[in-house]
Structure 1
Amino acid sequence: MAPISPAVAAIRVAVRRALAELPAPGPVLVACSGGADSLALAAATGFVASRAGRIAGLVTVDHGLQPGSAQRAEAVARWAEQAGLAPVEVARVEVAGRPGGPEAAAREARYQALVEIAVRHRAAALLTGHTRDDQAETVLLALARGAGPRGLAGMPPRRDLAGVPLVRPLLEIDREQTRAACAALGLTPWEDPHNRDPAYARSRVRADVLPVLVRALGPGVLDNLARTARLVAADNAVLDGLAAEALLAARHPDGGLAVKALADLAAAVRGRVLRAWAQELGSAPAALSYRHVAALDALITAWRGQGAAYLPGGLAVVRRADRLSSVEVSRPAPDPGT
């Protein structure tokens, strides 16, 4: 028997660990663009799942943003069928008209389609091929945006996405390993031109920023950035637990929050309580910024009789005596930073 490539072995081990942690017996679906990361993940998942008695399928998304995208999606699907993966689906999505920039709109459309297919097949999990390099890029982008601990925690290995477990088995695998695995398996990955397009911040980080950091600080910088994400995520879990308890304790019978209970909290916990409450009220997490939470916090810690703090979703919060209460507003909310 020919020796197994170290890269192939490492990816199979990562997938085996991820699948072993899934409690549900249903199929797993790999989201595969045809790039090296997701292609190596799909090949490893097919190999590991078949030996674990689990069904493994594949979904590829055609965003329709590039010439030949439909043919590329069909080619990925044919490869998956030949590799023994099933079910295999091509999801065609419409990106135009969605809110946000093109990258955010494409991501929203992609995940919406992936979740719908996963739900239809009652999948135990949806697997994506994000690597350690992707994690390092995510941490740098979060740092550049001035994100707090939640952003610096990067991508979690597992999270719930509309009721579907989204699992990232390759966060400890680097991009070069996925390319080496594809080469060892005789697979030809698709090179997404968007990954080299300087119009996208992540592409600029990948092409310009990370190579400079590696040259200046050594190759270990990528591991260190990914490790930072893991350490911050562990701290976040503790703070989120404290915030959940504090939110429960601060609730007023009328649905508001008791100011005294909030004022006694550490700032790190209070901010999380206010963010969680704002989401309960109906503010979308993606639209809720630091400035919105800071405006809420000012109603507690810098109270001078000021007016409402406005939140995304047509909401406002006012302080009435000893509690914070929400009110709906019909006019556009002013920018909390002005």
Structure 2
Amino acid sequence: MKQEVTAFINRHHLLEKNATVLVGVSGGPDSMALLHLLHSMREEWNLKLIAVMVDHQLRGEESQADLDYVRDICAKWDIVFVGTSIDVPAYKRQHQMGTQLAAREVRYQFFAEQMEYFQADYLALGHHGDDQVETMLMSFVRTADSSGFSGIPSKRRFASGAIIRPLLSVTKTITEAYCEKYGIIPRIDPSNHETVYTRNYFRKHVIPLLKEKNQKIHTTVQYLSESLQSDEDFLQTEANKVLEDIVDLDIENKTASLKINQYKSHPLALQRRVFHLILKYLYDELPKDLSYVHEAHLFTLIGSEKSNARMDFPSQLKVEKSYGNLSFYFLHQHPLHSPFHEVLSIPGELELPDGSSIKASLTDVAYREEKHIYCCDVEQVALPLHIRTRKPGDRMRWKGLNGSKKLKDIFIDEKIPLRERNKWPIMVDNNNEILWLIGIKKGQPATQGKPTEYIQIEYKEAIM
């Protein structure tokens, strides 16, 4: 085993001489074989070894006995040992998660702390080739995302250094034979045989069937994993470039937007990954009910002929298509605006719910034609003036228009996004005649005579 593992270490540059290496140990055959193997390399590679172990308090005295066993072995082999006991059942209840996930979280938190404390270069873990096969098969059953098929990496960044997995090149049978050869009597966790856990089911019932057809299935799968990882690394790098180039991302407000034509100009493989990157930025934690179905619906939405449409994602995330743009936002952070209706005093100033403002004044200065200024003769309109949001059936008329036009159609013509329309300010007179669809269209009341005094309305957008 040592020769095969050493070749794997060298081929993947997993380890350097003169390094400080933490070894995650459980007392089982895999981690004990790894600890002994690195111990046998210690002098040649000038390694500083520290064994680290977590008792998850899931098996009472038995798990404490595992900790004592590893401590005694480390004393015998002259290896520094750091162990701890953590109440995983309490952590599980507090954070409302499954046992396996809770145990993993506390274990890796402890490992990270020790990496920082010892300023270690590596954390070596005992995952072997059968673990890799199990992981790949579980991914096949659980996910439709190709990026999830890259398996367990042989090396990845972690805390102050990197996690390495030198045993991915060998099977569990080989690690057990190694232990027997060197007189190591490992501790066996009974839960490893309980098929209620998905991984154990694959281990006991599926992997043996595959090995009947290919005894070297772990080697085949490891090569596949490495190929997929290198492909995925490249695609993720390119996807991040696309994300930076075309996506307007606001992490603080949890929003993202992009132009659909720009998005669709990139290969589908990058479109998919950019979509998943957006989700990772927006969600604090990806919801469990987020699936490939949502991705399929997104691409249906993008490809549809509808100019305006919206779909719901888990945890109140909304994805909205509006006139060539795609927006992501959370409803609880960007709620739909309630209708408002205020009377505008003349002179006077009114602040609107979105932070914009409207100021009214009387003037004898002639009419100024500006986008955010409306001016009319005092005698032309029925006072007082009102500022409100749209209502069903709202119509507007202006000079040169034959009849009137629905506000809904004006919004469509101006390509105003759906979620903007319900909060858009409208100025009407006391007869409910729309005088100004602010910033878009100005009505033209009939002139009553020679102007003597003007009302000037100035709209100021909210300062972001």
Quick check: TM above 0.5?
yes
Match of 2:34 in 1: 41
Aligned-partner Cα distance in 2 for 1:141–1:229: 13
Match of 2:165 in 1: 168
CA shift digits 1:244-288 (9 cap, x unpaired) = 222122123875222222112222211111111221223425745
Aligned-partner Cα distance in 2 for 1:319–1:90: 53
Distance 1:247 1:253, change over 3 A: closer
Considering fraction of residues, name the structure with more strand: 2
Letter in 2 for 1:271: R
Aligned-partner Cα distance in 1 for 2:123–2:234: 26
Match of 2:232 in 1: 236
Letter in 1 for 2:21: V
> Is 2:170 aligned against 1:185?
no
Aligned-partner Cα distance in 2 for 1:261–1:131: 44
Structure with max Cα Rg: 2
Residue 292 (structure 1) shift: 4.1
Residue 193 (structure 1) shift: 1.2
Aligned-partner Cα distance in 2 for 1:293–1:284: 17
Match of 1:3 in 2: none
* Residue pairs, 1:179-218, within 5 angstroms: 179-215=176-212, 217-218=213-214
Residue 234 (structure 1) shift: 2.3
CA shift digits 1:89-109 (9 cap, x unpaired) = 112223222443222222222
Aligned-partner Cα distance in 2 for 1:296–1:81: 58
Aligned-partner Cα distance in 1 for 2:210–2:287: 29
2:78 aligns with one of 84, 95, 98: 84
Distance 1:207 1:253, change over 3 A: closer
Match of 1:73 in 2: 67
Letter in 2 for 1:85: I
Residue 74 (structure 1) shift: 1.9
Aligned pair count?
321
2:310 aligns with one of 307, 310, 317: 307
SS in 2 for 1:170: helix
SS in 1 for 2:152: coil
* Residue pairs, 1:323-338, within 5 angstroms: 323-330=325-332
Distance 1:78 1:318, change over 3 A: farther
SS in 2 for 1:327: strand
Distance 1:121 1:249, change over 3 A: same
Letter in 2 for 1:265: H
Q: Report 1 or 2 for greater relative contact order, CA contacts < 8 Å, sequence distance ≥ 6.
A: 1
SS in 2 for 1:112: helix
Considering fraction of residues, name the structure with more helix: 1
Letter in 2 for 1:239: L
Aligned-partner Cα distance in 1 for 2:190–2:249: 55
Normalising by structure 1, we get a TM-score of 0.85
Letter in 1 for 2:206: V
Is the Cα contact below 8 Å between 2:30 and 2:176 reproduced in 1?
yes
Aligned-partner Cα distance in 1 for 2:176–2:240: 42
Is the Cα contact below 8 Å between 1:50 and 1:56 reproduced in 2?
no
Is the Cα contact below 8 Å between 1:274 and 1:297 reproduced in 2?
no
Is the Cα contact below 8 Å between 2:19 and 2:46 reproduced in 1?
no
Residue 224 (structure 1) shift: 2.3
SS in 2 for 1:10: helix
> Is 2:250 aligned against 1:249?
no
- Indicate the larger mover: 13-22 or 279-288: 13-22
Name stretches of at least 5 consecutive residues in structure 1 with no aligned partner. Answer: 1-6, 332-338
Residue 315 (structure 1) shift: 3.9
SS in 1 for 2:167: coil
Match of 1:334 in 2: none
Match of 2:136 in 1: 139
Letter in 1 for 2:242: A
Normalising by structure 2, we get a TM-score of 0.63
Aligned-partner Cα distance in 1 for 2:166–2:282: 34
2:108 aligns with one of 81, 92, 111: 111
Cα RMSD for the two superposed structures:
2.6
Match of 1:30 in 2: 23
Distance 1:11 1:34, change over 3 A: farther
Letter in 2 for 1:274: F
Distance 1:111 1:298, change over 3 A: farther
Aligned-partner Cα distance in 2 for 1:296–1:231: 29
Is the Cα contact below 8 Å between 1:12 and 1:44 reproduced in 2?
no
Aligned-partner Cα distance in 2 for 1:273–1:163: 29
Match of 2:282 in 1: 281
Distance 1:19 1:29, change over 3 A: farther
> Is 2:43 aligned against 1:50?
yes
Distance 1:311 1:125, change over 3 A: farther
CA shift digits 1:176-231 (9 cap, x unpaired) = 2211221222111112212110111111111111112222x231333323322222
Name stretches of at least 5 consecutive residues in structure 2 with no aligned partner. Answer: 251-255, 334-464
Residue 318 (structure 1) shift: 2.8
